[in-house]
Chains A and B, each alone.
Chain A
Amino acid sequence: MSWESFWYMGGYAAYVWPAYGVTALVLAANLVWPVWQRKQLFRQLAIKQKRAQSK
C-alpha cells in the first residue's frame, strides 16, 4: 500500500482523518491544559514569594 492510498482511505478520508484529528486535539488539550496551568501557577507563586521576601 502506498502512502497516497493510505491517506486516501478508500475514499473516506474526509471522515476518517477529521475523526482522528478531533480526537487528537481533545485528548492533547486535556493533557496540556493542566501542565500549562501549573506552570502559570508556579510563576504566580514565585512572584508572590519574592514580594514577600523583599518586604
Chain B
Amino acid sequence: MPLIRAFLAIIRRDLLLAFRRRAEMANPLFFFVLVVTLFPLAIGAQPNLLQAMAPGVIWVSALLATLLSLDSLFRSDFEDGSLEQMLLSPHALSVLVLGKIVAHWLVSGLPLLLVAPLLALFLGLPEQAMGTLWLTLILATPLLSLIGAIGVALTVGLRRGGMLLSLLVLPLYVPVLIFASGAVDRAAGGLPVGAQLNILLAMLLAALALAPLPTSIALKMSVN
C-alpha cells in the first residue's frame, strides 16, 4: 500500500537524518543524566530521601529531556521547506505526521530506556521497581512525543517558540507524570501496578488515534 510505504519512508528518512547528526541525538540523553545527577547534589546524599524521591526525579527529568528534544521534531523540516512538501503530498497528512512522531520517539524516547537502570542505581531505586520503570518508560515516552507534537506544530512558525512550547505542553503532561511516577513509586513499595499501567496504555492508544489530527491541522496553520 502506498500509504504504508510513505509512512515507512518518512521514518527511514528521519532516522537516517538523525543518525548523521549523532552528537545532537545524544544531547537529550546527557541532559537526562545530568538533571538526575543534580538532585543528590542539591538535596544531599541521604539514601532514604533519594530512594523516596527516585521515581519522581527520574520522571520529571525524563519529561524535561523529552521537552528539550521536541523542538527538533519539525524545526529543520520547517526551515528547509520539506515540511511544505509533506503538506502537498497526496497521502493523508496525519499518517505522515505519525511517521515523524514515531521516528522522533525512536531517536529520543527509546534511548532513555538505556540509561534508566544507571539512574535507578544512582538514586537507589529498589530492584523490584526496575521492571515497572522500564514499562512506564516504554508506555509513556511515546505518549510524551505524541502530545508534544501538537505543541511543536503550533509553535514551529515562531522564531522563539521554545519557552512557549513548554508552557503549552507541560500542563498536558501532568496525567502522564502522575500515573507513570505513581506506578514506579508503588512498585518500589511492592504494591501492584496493573491499574496504572493499564491507564497509561489506554492513554497511549487514545493519543495514537487522536493526536496526529490536531498536529496536522496545526502544521497547516503554521506553514501558511
A/B touching: CB–CB < 8 A:
no
User: B-side interface residues toward A, CB under 8 Å?
Assistant: none
User: A-side interface residues toward B, CB under 8 Å?
Assistant: none
